Structure 1
Amino acid sequence: MKASKIYFTMLILCSLMFSCTKLNEDLYSELEDAGSVSKSVDDLLTSAYSTLNGPYQQDNRWALQEITTDEAMAPTRGGDWDDNGIHRALHLHLWNADNSYMANTFNGLGNAIFQGSNVLRFKPSVQQAAEAKFIRSLAMFDMLDLWDQVPYRESLESFKTPPSVLKGQEAIDFIIKDINDAMGALPDKTEAYVANKNAARVLLMKLYLNKGAFLNRQAPTFSKEDMNKVIALAKEITASGEYSVSAPGHYFDNFAPNNDKISTENIFTLYNENGVRGGSVDRTWNTVAHYNMLPGGWNGWCTLSDFYDKFQSSDERRGIYYDYPADTTSNRKKDYHRQNVGFFAGQQYNWTTNKPLMARNPSTAPLVFTPEVTLRTSGATLETAGIRPMKYAYDYSSTGQKNNDWVVYRYSDVLLMEAEAILRGGDGTAIEALALVNKIRINRGVLPLTALTLDNLLDERGRELYWEGWRRQDLIRFGKFLEAWQEKPADASANTLLFAIPAQQVASNPNLTQNPGF
């Protein structure tokens, strides 16, 4: 086994256990003595990017940000999708410190922070160092959002002591400095899967917009200074001329198998390419598709009818037939043109024969996805309850890793954040904020709004960014996360505005303090 492969294995173990052995120190020396430092930096940076796949690509972090909201649910279907109640606990806001989604997300983001820092040890180029700092800052931002505690090692020379922990304003200041230090060396124009100046600007926008919520999640405040920073950063991104809102009929270009080539919106993505590297982007299909669909899925997650009802029937985002080269089915070749992206509701069809699909058990029941769904389903609705969102067009052209790059930041989100910052007291007029939102709506096939309020802006963020991993953060910032919605009563305590720190992490790092209520 090559030394570098052993080295990467040890890095992962170190990041999870927060301790390293003399063996790892020997491996550092081995790489340097072999004159392979330059090559190892490239490999280390690629590895740092790749650590983001687990938390982000419809798993772990995604589940914490979506299944806990009014937008997504993972109902228990008879004996399926029970998993000791971890999915129900997320939707009901009844989690504890042993929930595996929290453990996996904490480990995954901690690993990304570690890997980003580790790149800086091996004499990276100025741009490589800047990219590593962006990756580290992105993971730290999510740690801050989810737990308000960010484990961090100033030095990676010794692992005899546990990481220190950054909280609140201290964490915010660290991330802002890290991003600003990196900004000058990041490229202006590059592939979206490479950290770039505009991606760094979006991360700063999100930090300034959520700063008041991070400091007081129960009663967020929004300073004019912070809102003006959001607006200024948005204008810089627009002025770069690199992005435009997807043209009518092209919303799903942003999530297509060749989205790295055709998207006009994607600012930062996670790289997926069959035979090269990537994450589990096919989970976007597998977690929701019925067994008898093409391809068959695990018949699990769904949206809620109240959220689905926020869409007008003409809204492209709700679902269309999307014509794309990687669709090799008869749905395209024989012009069946059945809906293949968006929210799947009602009778489903076989894309080989164009005949109605049937359920599996009983096989005589039509496969009709219904708006009605309960957190525990049984009987006749076991396989059919719940409308299924499928945002990433399935890559039929690939038998292995799917080639759709995972979207982290998009230009439409930039415009929506800019409009929100104006509404929250930043410089600008209500007419300007409204125009930003309507620029998106018109291209999605819906009528422009006549006025913009925080409530209808939150709805618009839901429609535009559904299942992209921002809903929980939005609901907290808009003061809605503790409220009741379908299949969830109002929260008994505001403690659920933060997640429980995994028990194993609290036990291994005395600098961590369990969040209140857990």
Structure 2
Amino acid sequence: MKKIIIIAILAIAFSSCSGFIEEENLSNVTAETFYNTEEGFNALVNANYNQLREIYGDDAYVFCGGTDLYSDGRESGPEGLMQYSQLNSSSEGVDQLYRSCYKAIQTANTALYYANITGQTSNLDQLIGEVKYLRANAYFLLVQTYGGVGIVTDYITSPQLEFERNEASEVYEVIIQDLQDALTTVSDGAFTGRVNKRAVQHLFAKVYLTRAYEGYGDSTDFDTAAAYAEDAIAGQALTIPFAELWFPGNELNAETIFSVQFDAASVSTNPTELGHKQANWFGPYLGGSEVAGSAGYRTYTLLPTDFALELFTEEDERYDATFMTEALWRYYADFDGNNPTGDVRHFYVPQWMTQAEVDAYALLHPEAEIHDYGTYGAAVVSLDYQTIPAKKFDDPTAPYENDGRVSTRDIVLSRLAETYLIAAEAYLNTNPGLGLQRLNAVRERAGLSTPLTTYNIDDVLDERGRELFGEYHRWFDLKRTGKLVERAVAHNYLIETGNFSGANGELKILRPIPQSALDLNQNRDFPQNPAYQ
């Protein structure tokens, strides 16, 4: 592998986070001595886990914006990421993953450097495997988002003035090697917050599935993806009711394969900055601090599109577990799991209710404003409560804070139902019969009594939309399958085909390399992605 040094990493490491500087500065003899001890090395590994909070804890636009499921409502997210028409290398949010992932990579490289000189312990190989998984995850996010990027596997102690760009195929080689190393060393036990073998298998399956669509992919990638997915499934059935999966505080359930860990104690020193924002998205304003008992801050952006709502049928149990059909005045104050108490202020009529049923409901709840079906998707740009709220990630313990990172629920990155759907997508290209079994198992757990007898990639994407709404996968799903333009144009009211038109006749599929990284680089031959040149 070529030795490539990226100036952007050092710009992040030495200027964007003073705490990171203090922790990683090798000019500090005390720090170097500390990392050579078992306690110090464990702290360094824990710092790698903490980087997950930075990757996933802030704005969700890079994961969800500009897709078929979410769009702007009364307020607007970054126009480039949400609509593509103004997407360029200086657009708001395009550097989010670039910065946070390279910071994670540098933290991983630091740990791997000290792993060679720290005191040997019985679990050292396991910790190295965990770090390599985390580095692979960061590179996987980068290569999906930006294409080929610079590969860095060395610990960097001083700024470099030039860097090169590797091919995407080379980045995948690094990812696969890291995951291979991790698979043989991480724990084979149950998930308790640290990387284990199932987490590696799940990510491995997704990596091979994603590469399979690329021209440089191997002809066996779909088969390999299915095999790793089956290893991660390990014969486990989907048995937990969907609503129970998302009961606040139950994120660490038997179907969770890997998640970003949060808790109130760990953010107590700065409770409005050290949590995360997942509870802020996917719904309108619910009254906030002026409501008795308060309701968490909502952004009015990344609201569910009409298409997202139309995906569900009456028997699908995921609808009521995902969306708040009844908006309550004292929602958080009277919070009782998925059945909170309190006066109904707004009712969002599901598409399957008859007019007679709506009239009967209105008689029982004269205090409620009735929102007819078809009138409360993201395209309704009006007042509070006019679009349907999503409740899947609600955190009744979070303080109200305008745009603050206040939620301390875990962010679930990998779970068993998605592993089933990865297998179904891979089998679509190799063994559709087995794929149907995996797809129908997800549908059956959701209460859908009629199994599919045939399926295509759109069926897989629709099922992922129902099962994984809000779970930070959608942009990657559409980009991976080549459906981003088609589905965003068809189902997002703010996006037209022309929005994707970029320079050189190229479409804006990949995000642009951030201008800040290009400006720091003295290698003027470093290529920008073609659509932004």
The 3-state SS of whatever aligns with 1:102 is coil
Which residue in 2 is equivalent to 1:445?
A: 447
Which residue in 2 is equivalent to 1:503?
A: 515
The 3-state SS of whatever aligns with 1:468 is coil
Match for residue 251 of structure 1 among 242, 249, 274: 242
Contact 2:81–2:94 (8 Å) recurs in 1: no
**Are 2:316 and 1:304 aligned?**
no
Counterparts of 2:308 and 2:230, CA distance in 1: 31
Which residue in 2 is equivalent to 1:482?
A: 485
TM score, norm. by length of structure 2? 0.77
Counterparts of 1:478 and 1:271, CA distance in 2: 30
Q: What are the ranges of 5 or more consecutive residues in structure 1 without an aligned counterpart? A: 1-9, 217-221, 348-353, 359-365
Distance 1:333 1:417, change over 3 A: closer
Counterparts of 1:130 and 1:64, CA distance in 2: 28
Distance 1:434 1:473, change over 3 A: same
Q: 5 Å matches for 1:227-266?
A: 227-239=222-234, 243-247=236-240, 250-261=241-252, 263-266=253-256
Which residue type is aligned with residue 189 of structure 2? K
Which residue in 2 is equivalent to 1:97?
A: 89
Q: CA deviation at 1:269?
A: 0.3
Contact 1:344–1:389 (8 Å) recurs in 2: no
Distance 1:185 1:131, change over 3 A: same
Distance 1:34 1:479, change over 3 A: closer
Contact 1:506–1:513 (8 Å) recurs in 2: no
Contact 2:238–2:445 (8 Å) recurs in 1: yes
Q: CA deviation at 1:289?
A: 4.2
Contact 2:148–2:169 (8 Å) recurs in 1: no
Counterparts of 1:472 and 1:159, CA distance in 2: 35
Which residue in 2 is equivalent to 1:4?
A: none
**Are 2:398 and 1:406 aligned?**
no
Q: 5 Å matches for 1:95-134?
A: 95-123=87-115, 125-134=124-133
Distance 1:517 1:397, change over 3 A: closer
The 3-state SS of whatever aligns with 1:156 is coil
Which residue in 2 is equivalent to 1:149?
A: 148
Between stretches 502-511 and 111-120, larger displacement belongs to 502-511
Which residue in 2 is equivalent to 1:386?
A: 387
Which residue type is aligned with residue 412 of structure 2? V
Which residue in 1 is equivalent to 2:527?
A: 513
The superposition leaves residues 412-462 of structure 1 with CA deviations (integer Å, 9 ceiling, x where unpaired) of: 1111111111111x2x3x332111111111110112223222221221111
Contact 2:334–2:342 (8 Å) recurs in 1: no
Counterparts of 2:275 and 2:215, CA distance in 1: 33
The superposition leaves residues 14-69 of structure 1 with CA deviations (integer Å, 9 ceiling, x where unpaired) of: 3869x999x93321x32234686332222222221111223324x44x31231110
Which residue in 2 is equivalent to 1:315?
A: 316
TM score, norm. by length of structure 1? 0.79
Distance 1:516 1:478, change over 3 A: same
Over aligned residues, Cα RMSD in angstroms?
3.6
Which residue in 2 is equivalent to 1:199?
A: 199
Contact 1:370–1:385 (8 Å) recurs in 2: no
Which residue type is aligned with residue 390 of structure 1? K
Distance 1:212 1:432, change over 3 A: closer
Which residue in 1 is equivalent to 2:425?
A: 420
Which residue in 2 is equivalent to 1:455?
A: 458
The superposition leaves residues 3-24 of structure 1 with CA deviations (integer Å, 9 ceiling, x where unpaired) of: xxxxxxx99533869x999x93
Which residue type is aligned with residue 103 of structure 1? D
Q: CA deviation at 1:203?
A: 1.3
Q: CA deviation at 1:150?
A: 2.8
Which residue in 1 is equivalent to 2:66?
A: 68
The 3-state SS of whatever aligns with 1:392 is coil
Q: CA deviation at 1:287?
A: 6.1
Counterparts of 1:397 and 1:464, CA distance in 2: 25
The superposition leaves residues 457-497 of structure 1 with CA deviations (integer Å, 9 ceiling, x where unpaired) of: 22111111111122122222332211222311123354311
Contact 2:283–2:389 (8 Å) recurs in 1: yes
Which residue in 2 is equivalent to 1:3?
A: none
Q: What are the ranges of 5 or more consecutive residues in structure 2 without an aligned counterpart? A: 1-9, 119-123, 289-293, 324-330, 351-363
The superposition leaves residues 368-420 of structure 1 with CA deviations (integer Å, 9 ceiling, x where unpaired) of: 59744788865xx2334433323224234889964421100111111111111
Contact 1:137–1:179 (8 Å) recurs in 2: yes
Give percent identity, aligned residues only: 21
Contact 1:176–1:204 (8 Å) recurs in 2: yes
Counterparts of 1:505 and 1:208, CA distance in 2: 29
Which residue in 2 is equivalent to 1:435?
A: 437
Distance 1:478 1:31, change over 3 A: closer
Which residue type is aligned with residue 396 of structure 2? D
Counterparts of 2:347 and 2:137, CA distance in 1: 32
Distance 1:402 1:475, change over 3 A: closer
**Are 2:278 and 1:280 aligned?**
no
The 3-state SS of whatever aligns with 1:267 is strand
Q: 5 Å matches for 1:26-45?
A: 26-27=27-28, 29-33=29-33, 37-45=37-45
The 3-state SS of whatever aligns with 1:233 is helix
The superposition leaves residues 77-131 of structure 1 with CA deviations (integer Å, 9 ceiling, x where unpaired) of: 2xxx34xxx5333232221112221122211111111111111122362111111
Counterparts of 1:206 and 1:334, CA distance in 2: 31
Between stretches 446-455 and 109-118, larger displacement belongs to 446-455
Distance 1:109 1:338, change over 3 A: farther
Counterparts of 2:455 and 2:338, CA distance in 1: 44
Counterparts of 1:368 and 1:127, CA distance in 2: 54
Counterparts of 2:322 and 2:154, CA distance in 1: 52
Aligned residue pairs: how many?
Answer: 463
Which residue type is aligned with residue 496 of structure 2? P
Which residue in 2 is equivalent to 1:7?
A: none
Contact 1:16–1:110 (8 Å) recurs in 2: no
Which residue type is aligned with residue 433 of structure 2? I
Distance 1:375 1:231, change over 3 A: closer
Which residue in 2 is equivalent to 1:332?
A: 336
Counterparts of 1:187 and 1:289, CA distance in 2: 42
The 3-state SS of whatever aligns with 2:496 is coil
